[in-house]
Amino acid sequence: MAARLGALLLLLLLVLAPQVFAPVLRLLTENGAPAIYDQGSLLDLTLDHIALVAGSTAASALAAVLLGILVTRPAGREFLPLSRAVVNVGQVFPPVAVLAIAVPLVGFGLRPTLIALVLYGLLPIFENTIAGLDGVSPPVMEAARGMGLGPRQRFLSVELPLALPVILAGIRLSTVINIGTATIGSTVAAKGLGEVILAGLGTSNTAFILQGGLIVGLLAVLVYDGLGLIEARLARRAGRV
């Protein structure tokens, strides 16, 4: 708990009161360069970054979970190899390559970044959805059938709740991956913390790079930890260890 609170406090200070760190960060600058990123609001960039990750992860989760449900039904099993090939596209082509393809088609800014992040985030959620649904104990499903529950009731009341912790683990992994990957969106003019890192790289300002990297890293740690707590609670309710 103390570590979580410490990480949260450090993140808030970096975003809301970055001047607190100016004496330390000034040691990393040269030739009178600014120690604190001054080309925009760190709070606004952090909120833009969070919104970008949240939107892309939500889209990935919706598509991957629905596809995972489809291929775990008897009528959809035959589509499993094709579905795996589709969701693997985001892993075969790195986000930078997807951006290079998407920019000529949809222009600069938010849209090509969203496309890259959505594709990149599909695989962990899809595979965990399949693992979670296929991992439900057959005796449990038989018991539900014996109680007179129909296919839809068994899915909504038994199968999905039991699989939910495993599905959430995939969403957690996808979210954390995209928190780091979203920084590349700044190369195509998408708003986010990548701006701070790119500004540091462009001016050889290590202080800027450290600020952007720390905020992204703390966000990833806190989100991973927070989703992990939710996952553990759902697992306890579902009777999983």
pLDDT digits (tens, 9 = 90+) for 151-204: 788 888 888 999 999 999 999 999 999 999 999 988 888 888 999 999 999 888
Within a domain: 10: no
Closest CA to 127 of 182, 86, 156: 86
pLDDT band at 241 (very low <50, low <70, confident <90, very high): very low
pLDDT digits (tens, 9 = 90+) for 108-165: 878 899 999 999 999 999 999 999 999 888 888 888 888 878 878 888 888 899 999 9
SS3 content of the chain, % helix, strand, coil (to 5): 85, 0, 15
CATH number at residue 88: 1.10.3720.10
The answer to whether the beta carbons of residues 115 and 190 sit under 8 Å apart is: no
From CA 24, how far away is CA 145, in angstroms rounded?
A: 64
CB proximity list for 63: less than 8 A, separation 6 or greater: 118, 122
pLDDT digits (tens, 9 = 90+) for 88-97: 887 787 788 8
pLDDT digits (tens, 9 = 90+) for 205-235: 999 999 999 999 999 999 999 998 888 887 7
Question: Position of tokens 């589709």?
Answer: 86
Domain boundaries, position 79 = 41-238
Within a domain: 33: no
CB proximity list for 84: less than 8 A, separation 6 or greater: 126
pLDDT digits (tens, 9 = 90+) for 50-83: 999 999 999 999 999 999 999 998 888 889 998 8
From CA 176, how far away is CA 194, in angstroms rounded?
A: 15
Within a domain: 73: yes
> What is the distance, to the nearest Å, from the Cα of residue 209 to the centroid of all Cα atoms in its chain?
21
CB proximity list for 171: less than 8 A, separation 6 or greater: 57, 61, 124, 125, 128, 227
Q: What percent of the chain has pLDDT over 90?
A: 44
The answer to whether the beta carbons of residues 215 and 11 sit under 8 Å apart is: yes
Q: How long is the chain?
A: 241
Question: Position of tokens 């990123």?
Answer: 37
Within a domain: 186: yes
Compute CA distances 217 → 44, 51, 55, 167, 177, whole Å.
17, 16, 19, 24, 11
Number of domains forming the structure of the chain: 1
Within a domain: 225: yes
Within a domain: 105: yes
